[in-house]
Amino acid sequence: MDFIIQVFAVFVMLGILSILIVVHECGHFLVARFFGFQTPVFGIGLPFGPHITLGKRWDTEFRIYAFLLGGFVAIPELGDETQMEAAYGAPVANTEDSEGDASQSSEASEENPMEGANAFGVPLKPFRKFPIWQRALVAVAGVTFNVIFAYIIMVVMLLAMGDPTSRTTVRAVVPSNPIAKEAGVLSKDILVSIDETKITSPESAVKYLTARKKTEVTLHMLREEKPVDIKLTTSPQGTVGMVLESEAGPTKYEKVDRSFVETLSVAGTRLYDVTEGMINGLGQMVRGIYMNVTGQVKKVPGEVSVGPGDVHGVLAVIKIGSDIARQDWSKLFFFTIMISIDLAIINLLPWPALDGGHLAFMLFEAIRGRPMGERAQGEIVKWGFVSLLVLMAVIMVNDITALVQGKLDIKKIEAEARKKGEKAREESLKKILERKAPSDESQEVK
């Protein structure tokens, strides 16, 4: 029975990933059609192996491929036209000379129609020259749809289940910055809100306080489950001398007692916080890998060392997501939001074959006044693809190795994270309590 549940959970995760990718491609497709780009094929699944043609509409052939993970939409006019012959299997009209005039390129495209079919067996029309802003909107549409989809899921989660919350507790008060201690704050107090702003994490408390330097605020606390209000004035740095942490335990959902319009606003705020956290996490990961590869000693106590072997991909997502689905299906809401935002962030990286790569070429064209030279762009695209394939190979090896070694077991991951987190917090707390001068609150929150 457990095996059947595991298999079902894996298929659920495969379905979620496929939906997110198809949503991304729908963004490209709809905006491309709106501006008149060619979209010869929209496929559900990876573009190889046998497929079923569902029909043709809007000059687009809709297909379902055998391997259903993901999806794609072919937009030849969005890519580098010098690569079209190799990519689409047919000679391409010379619509643009790398050193020529844009208006002449447009006339050339009309005089030299493309003959034959592309690699998908679908004939193409003569290429048109589209302005940079239209191409940029098509390129960024997929990312935009992923963000919109994540927002919709966030709204549904808030309405159906409530707001995921983890109580913020006072781990200790700092003798070197006695503002909170003298005002009556005690360790183990639960920080519910500051003034009228609800506190959802230690970071949200730090953000609120540091924005209000030398300002009187009211801390709304729970002490032994009884409400306590404490007024105090922040330091010139916006600190009060509290060490805060998130309360351990399973995720709890608090009913959203707001109007629908207010719920939409809360969903936007929550999504912004998630995105900000993921961008910060990505930055820390890149920094950790750089320090690991270059052999630098990490300088931040308790910071997790990240190396190339810690970078994972689709297989790890499926394994961890299926484990989450087995333990608590309600967590799939938040997991789906994170994956959707992650897809958006990754696709914006200025890497060839990603949306960010298209945008980088367009930015260069806008600054220079004409496109990059054909040979230079072709080399960048070629080596970009090669490096992307190498990265995918490394990630696949990491995923398989971690799976075989049991490192992708969600229970083990959570237990190890708790253990490392507790050790880091103890070390940080010890150093904070030993300080003799007021310090920045942001360094005290863990």
Range among 19-33, 236-250, 296-310, 407-421 with highest mean pLDDT value: 19-33
| Residue 339 pLDDT exceeds 70 | yes
Average pLDDT in the 22-36 region?
94
Distance CA 179, CA 214 (A): 11
Q: What are the residues facing 262 on neighbouring strands?
A: none
Domain with residue 243: its CATH number is 2.30.42.10
| Residue 421 pLDDT exceeds 90 | no
Distance CA 90, CA 113 (A): 12
Average pLDDT in the 356-382 region?
85
Q: Residue 341 corresponds to which tokens in the numbers above?
A: 């935002």
Burial of 408 by CB count in 10 Å (0-12 exposed, 13-18 middle, 19+ buried)?
buried
Question: Can you give the pLDDT at residue 295?
Answer: 67
| Confidence band of 249 (pLDDT split at 50, 70, 90) | low
Residue located via tokens 């330097």 = 213
> For residue range 263-321, what is the model confidence (pLDDT) as tens digits?
899 899 889 988 888 888 777 777 776 776 676 655 544 445 555 666 666 667 777 77
Average pLDDT in the 311-336 region?
74
Question: Can you give the pLDDT at residue 27?
Answer: 95
Q: Residue 371 corresponds to which tokens in the numbers above?
A: 């496109």
- The verdict on residue 190 lying in a domain is yes
Distance CA 353, CA 356 (A): 8
| DSSP string covering 289-333 | HHHHHHTPPP-STTPPP--GGG---HHHHHHHHHHHHHH-TTHHH
Give Cβ neighbours of residue 312 (< 8 Å, ≥ 6 apart): 395, 398, 399, 402, 408
Question: Can you give the pLDDT at residue 420?
Answer: 63
Amino acid letter at 225? E
Question: Can you give the pLDDT at residue 413?
Answer: 64
- The verdict on residue 351 lying in a domain is no
The residue among 334, 343, 336 whose CA lies nearest residue 282 is: 343
- The verdict on residue 204 lying in a domain is yes
Task: Give 82's DSSP letter.
Answer: G
Residue 339 near residue 346, CB atoms below 8 Å: no
| Residue 6 pLDDT exceeds 60 | yes
What is the pLDDT of the chain when averaged over all its residues? 77
Q: Residue 104 corresponds to which tokens in the numbers above?
A: 């002449």
| Confidence band of 1 (pLDDT split at 50, 70, 90) | low
Q: Three-state SS for 169? A: strand
Question: Can you give the pLDDT at residue 431?
Answer: 67
φ and ψ of 222, to 5 deg: -120, 125
Least confident range from 188-197, 208-217, 277-286, 415-424: namely 415-424
Average pLDDT in the 237-251 region?
79
pTM of the model: 0.71
- Terminal-to-terminal C-alpha distance of the chain: 41
Question: Can you give the pLDDT at residue 378?
Answer: 78
Distance CA 209, CA 54 (A): 57
Better-scored residue on pLDDT, 10 or 263: 263
Range among 305-309, 356-360, 376-380, 414-418 with highest mean pLDDT value: 356-360
Question: Can you give the pLDDT at residue 422?
Answer: 63
| Residue 83 pLDDT exceeds 70 | no
- The verdict on residue 327 lying in a domain is no
Question: Can you give the pLDDT at residue 110?
Answer: 39
> For residue range 122-181, what is the model confidence (pLDDT) as tens digits?
778 888 889 999 999 999 999 999 999 999 999 998 888 887 777 888 888 888 888 988
- The verdict on residue 81 lying in a domain is no
- The verdict on residue 228 lying in a domain is yes
- The verdict on residue 296 lying in a domain is no
Least confident range from 133-142, 198-207, 211-220, 426-435: namely 426-435
Question: Can you give the pLDDT at residue 446?
Answer: 37
φ and ψ of 232, to 5 deg: -155, 165
Please count the other Cβ atoms lying within 10 Å of the Cβ belonging to residue 99.
Answer: 9
Better-scored residue on pLDDT, 250 or 386: 386
Question: Can you give the pLDDT at residue 69?
Answer: 76
Question: Can you give the pLDDT at residue 219?
Answer: 92
| Confidence band of 418 (pLDDT split at 50, 70, 90) | low
Residue 60 near residue 42, CB atoms below 8 Å: yes
Better-scored residue on pLDDT, 126 or 228: 228
Question: Can you give the pLDDT at residue 220?
Answer: 93
Q: Is the dihedral of CA 176, 180, 181, 186 positive or negative?
A: negative
- The verdict on residue 40 lying in a domain is no
| Residue 106 pLDDT exceeds 80 | no
Number of folded domains that form the chain? 1
Question: Can you give the pLDDT at residue 432?
Answer: 63
Distance CA 164, CA 334 (A): 9
| Enclosing domain of residue 208 | 167-248
Distance CA 380, CA 439 (A): 47
Q: What are the residues facing 52 on neighbouring strands?
A: 64
Better-scored residue on pLDDT, 252 or 180: 180
Question: Can you give the pLDDT at residue 79?
Answer: 64
Distance CA 446, CA 440 (A): 13
Please count the other Cβ atoms lying within 10 Å of the Cβ belonging to residue 4.
Answer: 8
Residue located via tokens 């949503």 = 23
Distance of CA 442 to the CA centre of its chain: 24
Q: Kindly state the percentage of the chain with pLDDT values over 90.
A: 20
